[in-house]
Structure 1
Amino acid sequence: MAGSPWGPKGGDDGKGSGGGSGDGGGGKKPGPRNPWVSPDPVDINRGRKPRGPSALDELLRKGRGNFGGGGSDGGGGMQLPGDGRLWKWGIGGALVLALAFSSIEIIGEGQAGVVTTMGSYSRTMGPGINFKLPAPFESVKVEDVQSIREMKIGATSNESRNFVLTQDQNIINLGYEVRWRVRDPHQYLFQIADQENTIKEVAESAMRATVANYTLTDAIGPRRAAIEGEVRTRMQQLLDKYRSGVTIEAIQLQRAVQPEEVTDAFNKVTAAQQERESNINSAEAYASAQLETARGAAASFDKIYEEYKLAPEVTKRRLYYETMETVLAPVDKVIVESGGVTPYLPLPELKRRAAPATEAAQ
């Protein structure tokens, strides 16, 4: 078996294989190398360059990498194929989703969206799903255009003060409420800077201008509804001139009283005004009665004149008798013709004397 390629290498057991040889070294000539056994490090280092990985090894390494297998080139961790490209695709997908979501704007019922392109007004969106350019090219400001907003101004409590001068130079402490809503969101957002403060100042100006045309009594009681309507009209006209995009729904006076500092003086003024009204009413009643009496006398004279034109003598005699009866009725005298005078019985005097006795008996 000495010549077999699978036998032991020459020189390994030369001590027991025979004597001398023809090489003069006393050793046995080595036989053929086994191709299935890795060469010894000694053979590799004998002036030959180490071989690189074979094509089969490279293919197996790539296969393990594609299936998440551990590599032998250090690290021992999971190696993902194309790590750089995967991160790029992830970032790109996130950007696409962000742009898609920023291009959709959902406007609720009773709302409106004001679209601005790079800060400049573009259009107004209605309720529903709307599309726009992604941020930062276009942005949307959503505004409620349906709800009624309330603003309390002036004397809302006993301690607060909001003095307003009336037409009759009196002072009144006013508290009121303004109810309004946004009609045009474009004008509301772009035409006035401080919307609520502007509405408040307009309301105060309109209220002072209106109350200046009413007396204190009217402002406190019977003319409050008229004041509310006039203030609403003034406010709407002024806000429309400003192009504010606001509609005033209602004005409600909640507090209208005289200041506590002038309560006594106000009560005296009220009493004097009531007395004046009473005297005026009495004078008007007296004048009306006198006028009716004069009208009745004139009508009676007209009737007598008609009779006089028909029978002047008879009418004059009748008027003479009626006048004498009226004049002589309260006089205690009896006029008789001369001759044949009978004794006079003073019946009127007896009647006067009998009257006190009758009243005392009663």
Structure 2
Amino acid sequence: MSLKRLFTYTGLGVGIVILAILGFTTWYTVDESDQAVILTLGKVDTAVIEPGLHFKLPWPIQDVEILSKETFSLQFGYEEKGGELKEFPEDTKMITGDENIVLADMVVQWRITEPSKYLYNSIDPEVILYNATSASLRSIIGSSKIDDALTSGKAEIEAEVRDLLASLIDKYDIGISISTVKLQDVELPNSEVRKAFTNVTSARETMNTKINEAKKYSNKRSQEAEGEKDALISKAEGERTARVEQARGDVSKFNALYTEYVKAPDITRKRLILETLESVLPNAEIYIMNDDGNTMKYFPLRPLEKQTPPAVETEGSEKND
């Protein structure tokens, strides 16, 4: 083979390689769930988030880095792959604010919000995120009581961890943002301690139940007492009003009697005596004796129930009278 033919074949091969590079490195595709960063001579140029087919200068002038826009999960203290769970107790063991040891692991949801910073502001941003998660969780657990960490204070701990972690990530400026923070398990280090704490928790719950029952009973009795008090007050007010009205009626009646008494003292006096007798002895028959010995029923004050013939008195009876 002559030297000229060798150069021809070599040039042809180089041309094919160049054409192949131009053909495969001047375009790229961005999916809807992806985002891209264009590098020009190794320097970040532009960020591309619109999905579809895009073109650029051939390599090595321009290059492209494609990253996902989806939400990632960071598993702190454990790792779950292929249905198998692997734990890292040395990472999850920490001390609470009241000097108790607990094991706490959690999940952090995060996203890449600034691809260029994620790619070039740190060597391994996920390691930074893991360490920042550890620091944030230990800081919040270290200022919390064990009761809060194991029972009702988990939501507050999660919120405080998220705020602290987000501030650290912003400070490190690695191009990611924190979506949610979720405590998975907060446990005591061994079975004996867990059993003792369970007994204490059960006793506390029983105490709270009894206190609530006592408060409920106290409120019930207080309401009943308030009702009885209101009823007694209402009854007393009614009796007071009735007595006042009765007294007013008695005064009016007395004034009327006094007026009649002034007009006819003897008649009014006798009338009052007869009315009093009828009130004290409602079934008695009242008669007025005349000087001649005859009798007459007092008609104006009490109607006659029946008519009876005059009694015939003998001479002997008159003498006995």
**Superposition TM-score tier, normalisation by shorter sequence:** 0.5 to 0.7
- Secondary structure at the aligned position of 2:37 is classed as strand
CA drift of 1:114 comes to 2.4
- 1:287 and 2:218 equivalent? yes
Say which of 41, 55, 61 aligns to 1:130: 55
CA distance in 1, matches of 2:13, 2:217: 101
Query: 2:46 is aligned with what amino acid?
Result: R
Runs of 4+ in structure 1 over 6 Å off:
none
> TM-score, length-normalised on structure 1?
0.51
8 Å contact kept, 1:145–1:185: no
CA drift of 1:153 comes to 0.8
Task: Specify the alignment match of 2:36 in structure 1.
Answer: 113
CA drift of 1:104 comes to 1.7
Q: Indicate the structure whose relative CO is greater, using CA pairs within 8 Å and at least 6 residues apart.
A: 2
Bigger fraction of residues in strand = 2
Deviates more, 1:197-206 or 1:303-312: 303-312
CA distance in 2, matches of 1:85, 1:171: 76
Task: Specify the alignment match of 1:265 in structure 2.
Answer: 196
Query: 2:89 is aligned with what amino acid?
Result: S
Bigger fraction of residues in helix = 2
CA drift of 1:87 comes to 5.6
- Secondary structure at the aligned position of 2:123 is classed as coil
Alignment of 1:86-165 (within 5 A): 86=8, 89-90=11-12, 93=15, 96-97=18-19, 100-101=22-23, 103-109=25-31, 110-125=33-48, 127-135=52-60, 137-140=61-64, 142-154=65-77, 160-161=89-90, 162-165=92-95
> TM-score, length-normalised on structure 2?
0.56
Query: Structure 2: 5+ residue runs without aligned partners?
Result: 80-85, 247-321
In structure 2, relative to structure 1, the CA distance for the partners of 1:267 and 1:88 (3 Å cut) is closer
CA-to-aligned-CA distance 1:157-202 (integer Å, 9 cap, x gap): 6772513455666543222222333232112113333201111123
CA distance in 1, matches of 2:139, 2:174: 21
Alignment of 1:1-362 (within 5 A): 80=2, 82-83=4-5, 86=8, 89-90=11-12, 93=15, 96-97=18-19, 100-101=22-23, 103-109=25-31, 110-125=33-48, 127-135=52-60, 137-140=61-64, 142-154=65-77, 160-161=89-90, 162-165=92-95, 170-211=100-141, 216=146, 219-220=149-150, 224=154, 227-228=157-158, 231-232=161-162, 234-260=164-190, 262-310=193-241, 311=243
CA-to-aligned-CA distance 1:32-90 (integer Å, 9 cap, x gap): xxxxxxxxxxxxxxxxxxxxxxxxxxxxxxxxxxxxxxxxxxxxxxx648447526733
Query: 2:56 is aligned with what amino acid?
Result: F
Please tell me whether Structure 1 or Structure 2 has the larger radius of gyration of its CA atoms: 1
CA RMSD in angstroms, aligned pairs only: 4.0
